[in-house]
Amino acid sequence: MEHTLTTQSTGSDGMRSAKLFLYAAVILLIAEFIGSFSFKVGPGKVVLLPMIWALLLGAALGLASDRWKSAARLDVRTQFLAAAILQPALLLFISKLGLLVGSALPKLAAAGWALAFQELGHFVGTILLGLPLALLLGIKREAIGATFSVGREPSLAIIGEKYGMDSAEGRGVLAEYLTGTVFGAVFIAIFAGFVASLNIFHPLALAMGSGVGSGSMMAAASGAIAAQQTPEMAKSVLTFAAASNLITTTIGTYFTLFISLPMAVWGYRLLEPLIGRTTKASSASDVINDARPKLGDVQTEAPELGYRGKMLAWGVTAVMALVCDWITHGTTPLEGLPGMLLMVLAVIVGDAVFKVSGRKIPAVCWVSLVAMFMTSPWCPWGAQIAAFSSKNDFLGVTTPMLTFAGLSIAKDIPAFRRLGWRIVLVSFVANAGTFLGAALVAQFFDV
């Protein structure tokens, strides 16, 4: 049975959509007014941004709703609706990423071969170490989402489009995202500092390994490495780490889509029959299926959004992003509106090309390419579009996206409990793998 979200939904669906958007708006405002919070843990620092508060508040609301009896509760159907809206919201994030990359293409082209090829190390390293461990711990298809990358925002978009966030792979990448966000900077600072003290790698090779695609993790790792170098070398470490992180955040999207994700799927099919074990974590998906309510003979699942549903999702997400910019940076919605409209335009065009081309290449790729062209040197209006886009903060788009992720997560809590400490350990090993993999490749190029 196909469900379609439109502005002319039936009464119950319309009420459910209105309730979801109301909760999302309230959670977004609370998260933004809480703001950023940071604290030190050993040599590293944990930074909790509004997007993390939004995700946690959404999850808390879903868990609390289990005890409610009123119509205001965030029921499972509404959580599935949040998961469905998360998909187009992720495309809006990819559009913003593409607009950032377009103007930086000349800089990326001048980065050199070592910085280019170290991307292969970043995304292969996670699989070589993380995937076998996950299988030995009894983790099943969640292992694909947890080990094909370090699980940053572009990875959420890729898995969300290919498998849906309401899938074992989706739960895996979300668990990796949460672990990396809360503990990643602390872990990578300790690990990078230890590896640097062994004097096995050139400091600049380690610097390239630090650019894992997360600003906080890059800063933590490069800081731990730079602290052990001469003042002159320390500056070079920080410079190379920043360049590596820029490439990972941009070109890395294509590596994860066309190289590391297919490798993770292939590796899972090859290794699972050989080394896969059965543990408590293995039944994570079964627990989810048994716990979900059924309507007649059809099990509850995320609804399929029609075109109007997608437009509504893009519009609501765009408005929420404008509010984030207003609260955080003082950018009024009127100032941010031109850039946001261009962002939505890139999504609409990319999604249309995706459909016209027979859906053979993922929409994530098309949206990214359209957005990159819009701010590239080859676009006649690239400079003006980049100027408009600069009014919209990168994190402003991320927070609404994770708000819907949080509102959808409660239905998957039983699976996360089954995965438990195992998925956290796999996340740490995947982070170590991406650091070592890129450092090895960079060392091979004699940096």
| Predicted pLDDT at 221 | 86
What confidence score (pLDDT) does residue 425 get? Answer: 92
For the chain, the average pLDDT equals 83
| Within-domain flag for 6 | no
Q: Quick check: 353 pLDDT over 90?
A: yes
Report the C-alpha gap between 244 and 192 in whole angstroms.
15
User: Per residue in 391-423, pLDDT tens?
Assistant: 998 778 888 988 998 898 887 787 788 888 898
- Within a domain: 141: yes
The per-residue pLDDT for 292 is 57
The predicted model gives 329-336 an average pLDDT of 93
**If we measure between CA atoms, which residue out of 127, 113, 386, 357 comes closest to residue 251?**
113
Lowest mean pLDDT among 87-96, 143-152, 300-309, 324-333: 300-309
pLDDT of residue 86: 85
- Report if residue 375 sits inside a domain: yes
- pLDDT of amino acid 14: 74
pLDDT higher than 70, residue 42? no
* Domain presence at residue 3: no
User: What integer is the mean pLDDT of 89-102?
Assistant: 83
Distance CA 223, CA 237 (A): 9
Give yes or no for residue 330 having a pLDDT over 60: yes
The answer, yes or no, to whether residue 354 has pLDDT greater than 70, is yes
When pLDDT is averaged across residues 10-27 and rounded to a whole number, the result is 82
What is the mean pLDDT of the segment spanning 11-17? 71
Q: What is the pLDDT of residue 13?
A: 66
12 vs 210, more confident: 210
Residue 299: pLDDT band by 50, 70, 90 thresholds? very low
Query: Range of 344's domain?
Result: 11-444
Q: What percent of the chain has pLDDT over 70?
A: 87
Q: What does the pLDDT read at residue 20? A: 92
- Whether 349 shows a pLDDT value over 90: the answer reads yes
5 domain-assigned:
no
Note the pLDDT of residue 10.
46
179 inside domain? yes
| Residue-level pLDDT at 7 | 39
End-to-end Cα spacing for the chain: 57
Neighbouring C-beta atoms of residue 164, cutoff 10 Å: 16
Helix axes 363-375, 76-102, angle to 10 degrees: 40
Tokens of 288: 């989810």
Instruction: Judge whether 2 lies within some domain.
Output: no
pLDDT digits (tens, 9 = 90+) for 191-250: 888 899 888 999 988 988 888 877 678 877 888 898 888 888 888 888 788 777 767 776
Residue 430 has pLDDT above 80, yes or no: yes
Contact 339, 391 (CB under 8 A): yes
Unique residue bearing structure tokens 């998925």? 423
Residue 163 has pLDDT above 60, yes or no: yes
pTM, entire model: 0.77
pLDDT of residue 114 exceeding 60 = no
Q: Is the pLDDT of residue 81 over 50?
A: yes
Considering the domain boundaries, does residue 147 fall inside one?
yes
The average pLDDT across 143-151 equals 88
CB 377 within 8 A of CB 106: yes
The whole-number pLDDT of residue 335 equals 95
pLDDT digit string, tens, across residues 212-224: 877 678 877 888 8
Of 53-67, 115-129, 286-300, the range with the lowest mean pLDDT is 286-300
Give Cβ neighbours of residue 297 (< 8 Å, ≥ 6 apart): none
Instruction: Flag whether pLDDT at 270 surpasses 90.
Output: yes
Residue 182 Cα to chain centre, angstroms: 14
* Total domains, the chain: 1
